[in-house]
Structure 1
């Protein structure tokens, strides 16, 4: 049997859902992004658009690229550069339209109507960090991760610590729960726009940690990995919102609602999904407060955006 044909749609879907399971969901980020989150540029200087932005941001974040520009192997050579031996390319997608003329009627000789067909074609690019010999401007780095001077609340820090899930902070601009290590990773406190954003994010990640077998052992239903992920993300967001409300953390209700709405659209359900997920979220919130009690804390209020 021959080698299976490469399916660009399956590749894109797998890449995105794998990253969502392991790291940060791009549209939920109340902290400054760091170098990996600068909008990627083509060799023409134009910004990539659509799904390619997400694909390239994921590649830059996972592989540690901090240059904004991307180009094909041939484009690098034309600009006097050379991709270093052993470097791996990143797949992006070119969308286009093919217009075909209709068939001519064999009797009347009349020409048929034209019709257009959209296509998606994969091609491979390299970040300029992978290429030697280019002019210096190709190695442009985005501005350093912005710091807002946000400070944590000792009482809340102690409350989350008492849940028993280790929490680590680093310059890595991602928030996620690492299920194998049983650790929550968070960006540095100073890079969050507010303390409310910090603890809203932490509560979301704690929900993922509480759901695992060694704690509540929750099961998220779904016929596919994508649907299971959508269910778990709805659960984590609802749990985080419940926890923040009881802690007095002024999380953004609009952001919570928009995030949950996005996942419910993927699930293709309405009230049924909400009730099932809300029941699990309540159980997780109850578990947290039974474990840690109610803290004595005071988080500054911020405007709900």
Structure 2
């Protein structure tokens, strides 16, 4: 059965699904097989995607484990000598456009610009790792695996610990809950070994540290009176802004 949801509804549903699984789709949570820094998704002609398309393509790449940065339509792949493999599922991308309403202008409507309207339209694309037969330049080049540098890893961890200590925040790594308590003005975090990895531990610490900055005697942000109200939601979005910084430091 054909999906009759609008592009906006499909994007929203996809992001909510990832959030419910604990994935932040606006960050790229996996390392590139080709090494180097995180790259923007690219069109067939090499131009970078923009806006919500970046989030959607990173999200799909994370889910499927793609490391290729190029995405293209079925026809674009065919024009480049490639063939999308049978059974591969496409990913939705969107573009905004502007058009004019049909029919004769209504003089009483005033300015002719009032007849123009903007629209959102979606179309399917495939990652190069779903396509056979393209030139080698379209595919990611794997880099040889390297043994982790234990000394460098410890130095990176130490730098994050020094940063947390330099903030002056009272942080306790105990129990199994993460929160900032405004009254006593302290941060409680689960014990480090309960996290999947040290990056997740520091990302959680950064999230609660952002909440700590909003105290009345610091930035005086409104946290919200209850879970789910608009002020609470805004504060959570603010806290997310700092959550990926420690992970980036460790990469």
Normalised to the residue count of structure 1, the TM-score between the two structures is: 0.49
1:270 maps onto 2:231 in alignment: yes
Deviation at 1:92, TM superposition (A): 1.2
The equivalent position to 1:151 in structure 2, one of 150, 154, 157, is: 154
User: Over residues 271-291 of structure 1, what are the superposed CA-to-partner deviations in whole Å (9 max), with x where a residue is unaligned?
Assistant: 7998xxxxxxxxxxxxxxxxx
- Describe how 1:20-39 pairs up with structure 2 within 5 A: 20-26=19-25, 33-35=30-32, 38-39=39-40
Deviation at 1:112, TM superposition (A): 6.0
CA contact (8 A) 1:8 1:121 kept: yes
State the structure with bigger RCO (CA 8 A, min sep 6), 1 or 2: 1
CA contact (8 A) 1:98 1:118 kept: yes
CA contact (8 A) 1:102 1:113 kept: no
The number of aligned residues is: 197
- Describe how 1:100-249 pairs up with structure 2 within 5 A: 100=101, 103-104=104-105, 113-114=112-113, 115-141=115-141, 149-151=152-154, 194-195=160-161, 210=177, 238=180, 242-243=187-188
Deviation at 1:257, TM superposition (A): 3.9
CA contact (8 A) 1:98 1:117 kept: yes
Deviation at 1:116, TM superposition (A): 2.3
Specify the SS of the correspondent of 1:93.
strand
CA contact (8 A) 1:73 1:126 kept: yes
Deviation at 1:130, TM superposition (A): 0.6
Normalised to the residue count of structure 2, the TM-score between the two structures is: 0.58
Aligned CA distance change for structure 1 residues 259 and 93 (closer, same or farther; 3 Å): farther
The aligned residue for residue 96 of structure 1 is 97
CA contact (8 A) 1:40 1:48 kept: yes
Aligned CA distance change for structure 1 residues 119 and 23 (closer, same or farther; 3 Å): same
Give the gaps of 5 or more residues in structure 1: 153-189, 211-235, 275-305
The aligned residue for residue 59 of structure 1 is 60
User: Over residues 10-62 of structure 1, what are the superposed CA-to-partner deviations in whole Å (9 max), with x where a residue is unaligned?
Assistant: 11111112112213325678xx8512853210112111111110110011111
The aligned residue for residue 249 of structure 2 is none
Deviation at 1:143, TM superposition (A): 7.4
User: Over residues 68-125 of structure 1, what are the superposed CA-to-partner deviations in whole Å (9 max), with x where a residue is unaligned?
Assistant: 000000000011100011111111112111134784458x9x9961332111111100
Specify the SS of the correspondent of 2:112.
coil
1:20 & 1:61 partners in 2: Cα distance?
A: 13
